[in-house]
Structure formats: structure tokens, C-alpha cells
Structure 1
């Protein structure tokens, strides 16, 4: 990445980045500064980005409504926990403008024409933004360029970022995609769709591209159908897609079977211990999943957590993350731990088998799977093998038989006392049957005219 991209003076773009502090009156209403003659009906019609009432947040987990990583728009702008992403948002602005070869002022001018409409989109806008349109438009530019850059990379478009870029490389986007997407779909964290339209239009040349061309470009970036109304902002677009049918990619994610080790064992799939993580695979011919040994103790927990974190931040591989997701899918209960322990795939040195289940569940949070990893390929091939076999009636009969036997063992032969009880009951049943037969025989032998047998 060139120094001119990374080391730049943000003032060259006309963007004020020093004033990110909170304001004294965050609940100032736009009505306070509107001309008295403006129709209220027009105000309500323009509004589409709302602030939640405090009582709703008070009786719910506030994190459900608060951004975790990135602020979009004015409501959460400048919050301390979101400041680290501000640097990356301004980098996105820089890349977007330099790539378009259009001056930053052209973008500001295009947005300034719509400044009143953009301000009225917000239910509660701080007076600072109402009285300072330049500051408001600068924020719209920064946030809009961030959305366009991030979504464009997610859709597969190559960009001029370094392969190791922590946010805007392909892997950087994958790592942050869930959290950023979640933040961009918060009610209070929205940007008017009009901002995105203006930015894309200016980026296509000084004459500004026609709306249909802009719509086509945005539909590819934002992954919605070109003939679908994108709505007023990202959340509106998402809801529209839910009920009208979004444009789904032809190559959808491969279905993966979510069956535990015990369930797979009932289906005839075996587990085999191997010596290396590089050899993880599913052997179709032998119906065997080859897995390395996993030693779990009080020290390895920390190691696993740090391995996962380092792989996400410091490498372009996702092999360990994919492996953790595979193990999490296999271990859903204590029985799964016992089964894999019996195959020497899990060596548990924690206080209980329940602790292993919880550990793998915690480890699997925020993992990112690589479709090219051995673990993912093994899961995919195992799914295909399972789906092919379950179509045959013999497989179904065998599966049910194993399930019955397993339930029988678990219910009646899980411990010595259960076994003794079952044996005693069986003996009592046999004795009862013999006694009944003896009684019936004696009865018929004692009747006149009936010969004994």
C-alpha cells in the first residue's frame, strides 16, 4: 500500500476528525431549529432513523441495541469503545476518493445539496449537527464510504488494500463481517440510503451516473436485487429483502450435517486417531473420520484461546478455527466426550466431561471457518456420505437398531446396580412363568379323565 494512502493529512479531504467528543444535548430535537412555517406532516414523512426510548433499553440488554465495533451516523458517533474503528473508516474514505479520482469537495457538494433532507431523516439530531451542516456532511461521507468499501469487498470485488490489512483485506472483512453486519443493522446505527447513492454517483464521473446505473452498482455491493426497492437505509433494505425475497447467490453455502459424535457413531461412522492435524479427513471407503488427539487440561485452555485469536488477527489461515468448529459440532454432550475419549481422540484432564463440552462451546464462539481447510472438507464429505447412505432402508434399519441398543444400555445397563436389577427382574419373570406352567399342569393332571403328560 502506498505511503500516500496510509500517511495522509485528513484535512486535505476537508474532514474534521478532531471533534469526536460527545455533545451536551444528545436529545435535542430537530423541531427546535426548524422554521415555524414548515409542515409537520413533511417532517414525519422524512424521518426513518429513530432513537429508542430509554425505558425500552432499561428493560432489555442494552448491548442488543448498541454497536459493538463501528458507529454509523450521529447517534453513537464519538463513543469511546468505538473510536478504534474511526481510523479505519477514514482510511476507507481515503481509498474510495483516491480510486475514483474525484476531488473530495465534489462529494461534499453533492451531499450538501441534500443536507436538509438527510438531517430530517434522523428522529433526534444533536443541535451541533443541525447548526453545522459541514460537520454533518463530513460524517455522512466517512460512514458512507466505509459501508461501500466494506460491503464491496464482502461481495468479492478486489480493492487496493494490502493483503494483510486488518479490516479491508479479504480475510479482514471475513473476520469482522458478522460484527460489522450486526452493527449496520441496528435501529440507531443507520445511514440514509441517499448518501450511498450520491457517493456512488459522484464516483462514476463529474457528470454523475444515472440512477439506474447507480442502483445496479449498489445492488452488487449490497447484494440486493436491482429491481428491488432498497428502502431508506440498511435495516429497511434488510427487512424488505426478508419479505420480498433477496437476491440469493447461485453458489449457496454447502449444507453441513450437525450431528454429534454419538449420532454419527449410531449411523456407522467411526472415529480414528491420527498423529497430525494436517491429516484430518473423512475416509468414505471405511466410513471413518480421522482426527488428531486433543489433550485438554487447565493450561491448554488458554493456549487454545490464544491460538484462535492469533490465527484470526495475525495470519491468513483459518485451519485451527475450522478444527475448533468441527470439534464443537461433534461434542454436544457428555456421551460424545466419553465416545471420543474411548477412541483416544480426546484426553480430558479437567474436573469433568461437562467441562469439556462447555470449553468447546466457548472456544467455538466467533470462529471463522475456511472452506478450503481439511476440517471443513472432512465435514462436507461426511455430510454427503451420511445423506447418501440414509436413503437406503438398510441404513435406516441399522440406525434405529443402534439407537434402540444404545438407549437400552443407557437406561438399563449404565451401572452395576441397574444390571443387577435387570437380571433380578428377568429371573423373577422366568420363575413366575415356570410357576404358572407348573400350576396349570397340576390343575389339568388332577381333573378326572385327563391323563398327565
Structure 2
């Protein structure tokens, strides 16, 4: 529309001018009523509308790129403390929460340490991450608008949090009295390790890779391998037996998940039947069926093998400590919410819940070195496994379900064979008694007949 505010500057206008004002010219009419071309310019085309409103396929593709999630209320309601950080926030989800503010000064210390040590500026780190900011944003599901609309703030957050996480991982490798080291209280370190495990507190591993590439002469593959090794040593201590340490991962939680699994997720080629969903037998039940337990030296959770010829069930070691619950609950939340993530961790926890139903079961598996507990308390092990497996079910199409099905089938076969042996033993004993009685009766009858004949 035309701007007529200039008329106010001319208070002594003539009648003709007033008529012109009351009867707008053709030009003004055109300005009021735009042409078809102008209307097309003002009204976005279908292509532009499609760009603003992505199709279902594009939305699905965007969802597939998400790897860090806000945990569903249906999951957090079972154990809210397992998913909420206590000490430090990493990433945008919990940034700014009052109880996490004391750690912010240490995050900035970490950034200052890297800048001074490697002679790099904040601008150097920003340039390294600038091109991947959209990819980093896509990693987060339901990212708040305040981060989407403030690219610089999001980029700064990634750099500061990334430097803090790297410093924590490096300090675990080299203990020293360096004044630049955090030298946190051991109890505080446990809380930090705990918070880094949480799904809502993950940082894309791409951030760590880009930051290290700025200050390292190594190639990207070497840097990825280095980060994976740092993460696994931070939580498990030993990486010598892990063949998957060179894999590219999404974040710390994904690194740990891949380190626990023998190979990529595979769907077994079989049809699920109702009898496959039978509950697993306890360790004591299997022992009564003459099944022996052995610890598998390769601690991959999906490497559970039953050897029918020797009646041996080989299981990986399960360490129960202060981080076990947090680790497994967040791994299972990741499997539940992530696309094409697999269900190996969930299947393993459900399988172990079937084995450990009583304190006797826990004691048996501890004696075989399959379970290691910090305090050795059998009841704590039973309660811990029960808490992990709450509202969890075995995927009927998983390899673990197939293994449990074969194990249950073997158990039932052994049970029936044992019942048959018992029946056979009883019958054998009774048959012997019956046979002996019949023979005795025949002998007595024969003797009686002979006596009568003799008297005659």
C-alpha cells in the first residue's frame, strides 16, 4: 500500500488537491491492487511451501539423523534419577539448570587449558565446527528454538562442553599434579562419570573429533580411534580385547554400546512363535538339569553360547557397581528411541533377569566368575537385575530370543529325560520286587506240590 503520511506536511491544500486525495490516481490504485506478477511474488510458490513444510519422507529422514533424545516420560517415571544429571550438563538439554552451574567455571578452565597448551584461539575452534553446525543440531531430537535461532550460542556451547569432556577423558589417562588439572575429589569424579553416561547429556562425537583435529597432526581415523580408546578406558579400564575400537560412533554412550557387542545388529531368519516367548529358566533350574556354567573370556553381551554336547552355558562377565544401573538404563533408552539401533542390550538384560531369580542363582553365578559385585551381596544383585529389567521384554525376533528358546527346549528335554530315569528306576525297583515275589510264590507252590506227592 502507498504511504500517504506526506499529505500532513501540506495543511493548505486546494480543493482540487482534496479531490485528488479523495479520488486516488491510477498509479495509487495499482499500488493498492497489485498486479498478478506482484501477487505471485508475494505469494510463495508450491516449491517454496514444500521447502518450508518438509514432506513426510524428509521428516522421517530428519528423525533418522537424531541420535540424542529427551527420554520418554513412560521411561523416566520408573527411575527419574537415572536420566537426570546431578553435577554437569553436556549439550543443550540441561544447560542453565541452577544445580549444574558450579561446574560451568571448570568447563571454561578446560577451554582455556586447550587454548594455552596448543596455541589455538576460540576462532580456530569455531572455524573447525562452523560447517557441521547443522549436522550437530540435527543430532538432537526436539532441540529448543532458542538454540536453533542462535547459531553462535549453540556453537560456543559445543566448543566449551567438548573441551571439558576431552579434558576429563585425558586426565583419566595421565594422573599428575599439573596445576591445570582439575584434580577433582574421587566422589565428584564418580558423579561426573555417571552424568556423562546419560542419554540426555550426550555430545555428538563429531564435536570431539573436530576439536582434536585442530590441535593434532593425526588423520581423522586415528583421532576417532583415540577418542574411542579414551572413552572405553574411562569406563572399563581395558581396551586390549576390543576389536571394534576403530568404529565411528555417535556419542559416548554409542561408543560403550558398540564396545559391548560382538558384531553389527542382525535379524535372525526365523519366524517368532508363541512358545519362543517363554520365560527363561533360572540358573538353579538349569543346574538341576545338569547344565554347567562357564565365564566367556570375551566380554561381549551378545556372545552367549550353549554347547549341547558338553552341557555348558558360556556367559560374559557382568560387573555390578555404582554405574551399572545408569549405564544399562540409558543404553536401553537409546535402543528404544534410536532408529535402527538394535536391541542387544535390552535382550541381554532380559536374558539375565530370567537367569537370576533368587539369591541362590546370584550366588551360583558369582562362584563361576560370571557376575562380579563390589560388595558380593547376592540380594543386591537380584534387586539390581530386577530394577534393570522392569517393563522390559525380549524381542521375539532377536538372536537372544532364539538362544533362550534352544536353552529352554534343551532344559525341557533334560527334565523329561530325568523324569523318565526316575520312573525307570522306580519301576525297575518295583519290578524286581514283583519278579522276586512271583518266583518265591512259584517255588513255594512247587515245594507244596512235591510235599503232597511225597505223602501220597
**TM-score bracket, shorter-length normalisation:** 0.3 to 0.5
- TM-score (normalised: structure 1): 0.43
Which one has the largest radius of gyration? 2
Normalised to the residue count of structure 2, the TM-score between the two structures is 0.42
